[in-house]
Each structure stands twice: as C-alpha cells, then as structure tokens.
Amino acid sequence: MELSALRILGLVAGVGVVAYTIWRRRELRNADVLILLATALALVVVSGTGILNAVLDFLAFREGGGQRILGMAVFAIIVLLALVLRALTAIGRMQRGLGAVVEGLAWEDFRLDGHPNHFRDKVAMVIPAYNEAESIGEVLSRLPEEVCGVPTAALVVDDGSRDNTSDVARRHGATVARHVVNRGQGASLRAGYRLASESDAKVVVTLDADGQHLPEEMSRLVQPVLDGEVDVAHGSRVLGSSFKNELARELGSVVFNRLVSTLSGVKMTDCSNGYRAVRADILPELVFRQEQYHTAEFLLEAIKRGYSFKEVPITVVGRLHGESRKPANLRYGVGFGFAIVRTWLRAGASVERPAITAGSTAP
C-alpha cells in the first residue's frame, strides 16, 4: 500500500486529535472524549490500512467513475448526521436545564416572599408579560376582585422584560414572579402554572398582558370549571368575536384548528387562543415542553390525558399599545406546526383514560 500525502495527512490528523483529547481531557465530558478517540482511531485505520477500500468494494463502490468519492460522501454524511443529532440532543438538554434553573429561581423568590398564601383557594389570574409596561397597568386595573363568588389574585410572570413591567404590575397590586432572562410565553405560563398550583389555587385563568382579552368575560370561563362541568374551559374568538387579523394568520388558524381537531379527536375552533380557565389541581399532571408555542400544546396535553374540555365564546380586541411580540407569519406558522406535531407524538403515548369532552364534537 502506497503511503500517499493524503494518507500521511490523515495519520497526522489522527495523532493530533489524540494529543488534543489528552490535553483537554479534564475539561471534556466522558462522551466527548470517547467520540474524539473514536474519530482519531478511524483516521488512523483508514489512513494506515486498506480497510476503507475493502469496505467500499463490499458496498459496490468500485474504482472509476467517481464511485469511491460517492461512497466517501455517503459515509461522511452519515457521520455528520449522527453528530448533528447528538448536538441537537445536547442543546435540548441544556435548554431544559436552563429553564429549570430560571423557573426554580422564580419559585424560590416567590416562596420566600410569602406569596403562596395569597393564592390559596382563589382564582389565580396568570398573566405572562414581556416588555408590556404600557399595557399591563390598564389590564390589571380591569381585573375583577372576585369571579363567580370566588376571590381572585393576579400573578404577572415577567419574562425577562427590559422595561419596568414588573414595577408597573406591583404598583397595581399584582404579585410578580420574574425570569432573569427571556424564555418565551410558554415558559412563562409553565412557571405560572407551577406557582399557582403549588400555592393551592382553586382555578387558574390565563390571559394576555396586551389587553386583547377582556377581563369582564372571565366568568364565562371560570363558571363551567367551578361547577364541575369541565376541567378546562377554553376561550374561542371564532365562537365569539374578534378584530380582523392579517389574511395569512386567518388562513393559518383555519389550518391549525383542523390539524389539532384531527390529532386530538375533538373539534377545535380556536387552538391559538390563550384565554382559558383550568382546574389548578390537574396542572401538575400535564407535561409542558414548549418555550414559545404553548396554546396548542396545552390543549393536546389536556385532551390526550382525558380531561374534559369545552370552548367558550369570548371577544378578542386589538392590542392596547405597541405591536405584537409574535414572530413573522412564516416563522410563527412553522414553529406552531412543529409544536403541534411534537406534542401529539409525545402526548399520544401517555393517554391514561378516554377523553371526555363537553361543548365540542368530534371532527
């Protein structure tokens, strides 16, 4: 076997990888050390022996006509795909770890300040907010002191705002839990659910901080839950009324409503609406992973786990101030669609009892 310049380069690269691994071994994780050593071994074996030719011959990548180059490209793509999948897994693990830290800090501050007692046996109104200092005060001033005879308490989850959202919320009497970094609306609601349920709230209501949801309509959502009619009462602007949105978003809503209805087996008219009421004691049983696109995840989780569900007519108006924080239409649509499919794949295997629905029919 001729020791060509390319083979020599491969041998040198293999030795270099080994040297680098030994040098940085204390900073690398065990899995990283194994991957680097395996890479070095592969470089040495391929460069110093004829095993690669034998493998390519066995797989019918013969010499001539670029067949060997094609075979090498196939192997390289397979290795690259494996590394990409591993990197994505590691990134997902780190994101979940960061989310747990951020939410844990928020809970610890919440507990130390004695806030859990403020929500016990009440309707907890959870409002995720990001840079909503202009709107949050007016929204909080319109919140009812009681709903359907049950006292209320407002919890604003400030998702790393760079303005004075938290200060405005506190001045209007709300309890504030703050994320030190921006994590997304889904992460904010997940934190709010945990804080409210572990504080022994009776019902949790979620609504937006931009004024699009009317606090005056809250009883429509809370009453069916308090009466034991359903576990989740979800607001629907389709059954109620809404301001005219962009055509692309209107069409996207139709598509996603149909998709969620098909996957859940329950007719859905407004799967992207965040105004809802839910029994607080079922929240610990629901698994939420989405950092941003949360609404469809919530509905699929609740329905797939067999909790009763009902859509309630509500009104959605335009923002009080500023512009929407949602991504551009295409990005939002892709993200929302992936969130639906991922939640269905995950939740579909966790059904514990048949779904019972109220106010909706199968598609």
**Segment among 49-53, 84-88, 333-337, 339-343 with least mean pLDDT:** 49-53
User: In the chain, helix, strand, coil percent, each to 5?
Assistant: 55, 15, 30
Identify whether the C-beta of residue 43 lies closer than 8 Å to the C-beta of residue 17: yes
Q: What are the structural domain ranges in the chain? A: 5-95, 113-350
pLDDT digits 0-9 by tens, 260-316: 888 888 888 998 899 999 999 999 999 888 888 888 889 998 988 889 989 999 999
Tell me the two tokens of residue 175: 């309890």
Query: Residue 141: what pLDDT?
Result: 95
Structural class in CATH, domain 113-350: alpha beta
Q: Within 13 Å and on the Cβ side, how many CA atoms surround 3?
A: 7
Question: Cβ(204)–Cβ(278) under 8 Å?
Answer: yes
pLDDT for 189 equals 93
Strands (E), 87-215: 123-129, 146-147, 150-159, 175-179, 203-206
More confident residue, 114 or 176: 176
More confident residue, 131 or 334: 131
114 CB burial (10 A radius; 0-12, 13-18, 19+):
exposed
Phi and psi at 124, nearest 5°, equal -90, 120
Those residues whose C-beta lies under 8 Å from the C-beta of residue 151, and which sit 6 or more positions away, are 121, 122, 123, 145
What pTM value is reported for the model?
0.72
Locate tokens 């941003």: which residue?
A: 292
In the predicted model, what is the mean pLDDT of the chain?
84
What's the N-to-C CA distance of the chain in angstroms? 68
Cα-based torsion angle of the residue sequence 179, 185, 187, 188 in order, rounded to the nearest 10 degrees: 50
- Reported as a single tens digit per residue, the pLDDT across 182-205 is 888 888 999 999 999 999 999 999
Tell me the average pLDDT across 110-139. Answer: 90
**Where does the pLDDT of residue 349 fall: very low under 50, low under 70, confident under 90, or very high at 90 and above?**
very low
Q: What is the pLDDT of residue 87?
A: 83
DSSP state at residue 101: H
The pair of three-digit structure tokens given for residue 10, joined into one six-digit string: 């491969």
Q: Which residues contact 183 (CB under 8 A, 6 or more apart)?
A: 99, 102, 159, 160, 291
pLDDT > 70? residue 353: no
CB-based contact 223:217 (threshold 8 Å) = no
pLDDT confidence of residue 354: 37
- DSSP output for 247-268: HHHHHHHHHHHHHHHHHHTS--
Residue whose C-alpha is closest to residue 208's, from 283, 296, 143: 143
Q: Which residue has the higher pLDDT, 226 or 3?
A: 226
pLDDT > 90: percent of the chain:
36
Handedness of CA 129, 309, 96, 154 (dihedral sign): positive
pLDDT at residue 233 above 80?
yes
For residue 209, which amino acid is it? A
Nearest Cα neighbor of 177 from 193, 204, 155, 199 is 155
**At 247, is the pLDDT very low, low, confident or very high (cuts 50, 70, 90)?**
low
290 or 235: which leads in pLDDT: 235
Q: How many CB atoms lie within 10 A of CB 140?
A: 21
Q: Tell me the sheet residues that pair with 125.
A: 154, 205
- Residue 2 is predicted with a pLDDT of 64
CA 213 to chain CA centroid, Å, is 22
Q: What is the rounded CA–CA span in Å between residue 31 and residue 28?
A: 8
Lowest mean pLDDT: which of 28-37, 165-174, 315-324? 315-324
Helix (H, G, I), strand (E, B) or coil at 290: coil
pLDDT at 347 over 70: no
Buried b / exposed e across 186-197, counting CB within 10 Å, b at 16+? bbbbbbbbbbbb
pLDDT tens-digit series, residues 17-71? 889 989 988 888 888 888 888 888 888 887 778 787 787 777 777 776 677 777 7
Residue 292 has a pLDDT of 82
- Proportion of the chain above pLDDT 70, given as a percent: 90
Q: Please give the single-letter amino acid code of residue 251.
A: L
Residue 95 has pLDDT above 80, yes or no: no
- Average pLDDT in the 328-355 region? 68
Q: Confidence class of residue 326 from pLDDT cuts 50, 70 and 90?
A: low
**Which two tokens mark 203?**
């019902």
Which amino acid, 293?
A: Y
The answer, yes or no, to whether residue 151 has pLDDT greater than 70, is yes
Q: At residue 159, does pLDDT exceed 60?
A: yes
Amino acid making up residue 41:
L
Q: Residue 362's pLDDT is what? A: 38
